[in-house]
Structure 1
Amino acid sequence: MSIIEAIIFGIVQGLTEFLPISSTAHIIILQWLFGTDFEGLTFEIILHVASVLAVLLFFRHDVIAIIRGFLRFLFQKDTRERASFFFGLYLIVATAITGVLGLILEDYAEAFLKTPLVIGGALLLTGVFLLIIENIHYRYTRSVNEMNMLDAIVVGLGQTLAVIPGISRSGSTLITALALGIERRTAVRFSFLLAIPVIAGSSLLTIGDIFQGGFAEGNVVALIVAFVVTLIFSVIGIKWLIQWLEKSKLYYFAIYCFAIGFVVIFFLDPAAV
């Protein structure tokens, strides 16, 4: 892999990981276009670790507050930290559901779902749900203090759909939370914070690949460049999406998903590139 390719992969991973347009689909599409086949999982792990680090940096104050509040409520019975405790508990429950179901479905997804028809169709489906959620005529009024265990379970189930390439992890959690009536700010915060244990967990499960000769699959310099670029553009993507959702609608992401989905289905043949 060249340095230029590493930069492009880093930019795409960083921007698409947290936008509701599926980073997995975009990375697969880039592989097809560049004729690149990652042997092992080292490169994907590097990209995901960079994305997780970006979330931790951006939401470091939230993460510290939730962990501190969770422990104070649990061990010191500090009722002032009740909201932090339950928010942390909901993150744990949603993560557990996604983790268990993801492990069950992962092999199937790897074997059968990375095709233009499936990825393009999943992008179209993501676009449809983005349109639907913007046309639900009720206010998203439930705050973080009004979330409950059912919300965590449903969001966890929704996030599991992201095992299908083309179904966005951030999009599925955001859409599910909004459909449950959770206010946008809380839905976005829950979606981003949920990325930390989910992406970190999936990376840890496969990190052994790095220590089994995984670095042999590419230039170490290219891997470092991809990591740094992904980190920078992940932070940009997080900040941009938060600002976007405060002022604009999800329609534009839906249009983008439709456009890319049709291109993948009708014009992209991996065997021909």
Structure 2
Amino acid sequence: MQTPLELPRAIAQFIGGNQLVTDEVGESPASVYAFTRGNERFFLKTCAAVYTPTTYSVLREARVLQWLNGRLNVPEVAVVAQSTAGEFMITRCVPGEPIQARCDDPDAMLALLREALRQLQAVPITDCPFDSSASERLNELEYLIAHDLCADDVDLEQWPNLDTPAKLLAHLHATQPTEEKVFSHGDLGDSNVFVDTHDQLYFIDLGRGGIADRWLDIAFAHRNLREDVSARAAKDLLRGLGEPDQSAKRVFFEQLDELF
């Protein structure tokens, strides 16, 4: 099939004559294609050059994955390339299935997300070169707004006084929290965590990975449970943390994510 961006030679040579199949999962502006080479399954991910200064950057994600190798179970990066049109990465498919497949079992989903949080926050950040702090993400949001690159499915009606991207951005600057820094996935949800038959976890879509506040991933896990499983499971996640809920931080990170 034809891709929106012309493929650099290294990428095209790796794919060879194998058929690319569009992967519809995910809401980012990146394009993702699956293909089989020999007996192995791979994914090609591309982003247009306009996204290279953001966490949608495919090369940024490749660097995060390479740094995490040996620290977390993440996809192996096979090939990366860049052209004036954009960025390109081929990764090897991880085993298992998205934990989303177990959403009919609230206890299992809760346990899997708790374990995902534990593993992510256990990654040492002493030498982590990736800054995903609130200030960096706000700078990124300013870039997206200025270039009219915000998400198409924005829902600001849930915050009646923040009915424009500019108002939401100003509010986020005014409510930016003090951060307790850990390694963060940055987009933790039940489609970005896989589990294999031995209950081993694998993490994908780590473009926003880096040092951030520990409540960022907690907020996303809580939202995932609240919206896709049950309110009780979401409450149980918070109760199991062994510390008071920081609802203001959870709201901040949900609001920050709305325009992405």
TM-score, length basis structure 2: 0.26
Q: Where is the helix percentage greater, Structure 1 or Structure 2? A: 1
Q: Where is the strand percentage greater, Structure 1 or Structure 2? A: 2
TM-score, length basis structure 1: 0.25
